[in-house]
Amino acid sequence: PYLAVLNGPNLNLLGQRQPEVYGHDTLADVEALCTDSARAAGFGVRCVQSNHEGVLLDAIHEMRTKAAGFVVNAGAFTHTSVALRDALVTVTGPLVEVHISNVHAREPFRHHSYLSDIADAVIVGCGIEGYRFAVERIATLVGRHRA
Ligand code: DQA
């Protein structure tokens, strides 16, 4: 079984982009952290990052009934995309929304998410450690435990 790890626009620039907000770790670090924490719970991962909404939609459609769960940081699409919401509401496994920064301590336009009310959990402001919490939460929700 595998977990889908989706990262949206500009997250390819992690480590270079506003490090005072998002830290110095890179997308490769995030994906390695997800891979390691998923492996510890008995899952593989499929990681997708895209700056294109349609690419993310296609990835969700492809994995929506196959992935055991979804870890999603939709970046700015969080605050804009009904289409991502409509796709993610169809996934069969748990959905955990992650934001590296504490979006609630930032501009008002970041306070609303089109995903939060359809997510099983929302993790904000924990830095990239939030991805590990998300993986562990999905493992709990689907009843898998560390070997
Ligand atoms: C983000 C927060 C969003 O508001 C922003 O557009 C991002 C990253 C985060 O991880 O903190 O791109 O999702």
State pLDDT tens for residues 2-60: 999 999 999 999 999 999 999 999 999 999 999 999 999 999 999 999 999 999 999 99
CATH level 3 topology of 2-141 = Rossmann fold (3.40.50)
Which residues sit with their C-beta closer than 6 Å to ligand 1? 10, 73, 75-76, 78, 99-101, 103, 110
Catalytically active residues are 22, 99
Q: Separation of 42 CA from ligand 1 center, angstroms?
A: 28
* Token pair in block for residue 73: 């940081």
Instruction: For the chain, give percent helix, strand, coil, nearest 5.
Output: 45, 20, 35
Q: Tell me if ipTM is over 0.90.
A: yes
Which tens digits make up the pLDDT trace of 90-128?
999 999 999 999 999 999 999 999 999 999 999 999 999
How far CA 63 is from CA of 9, 37, 56, in Å, comes to 19, 20, 11
* pTM to 2 decimal places: 0.96
Query: Does 144 score more than 80 pLDDT?
Result: no
Ligand 1: which of 73, 98, 111 to mutate, most ligand atoms within 8 Å of CB? 73
Query: Does 146 score more than 60 pLDDT?
Result: no
Q: Separation of 74 CA from ligand 1 center, angstroms?
A: 7
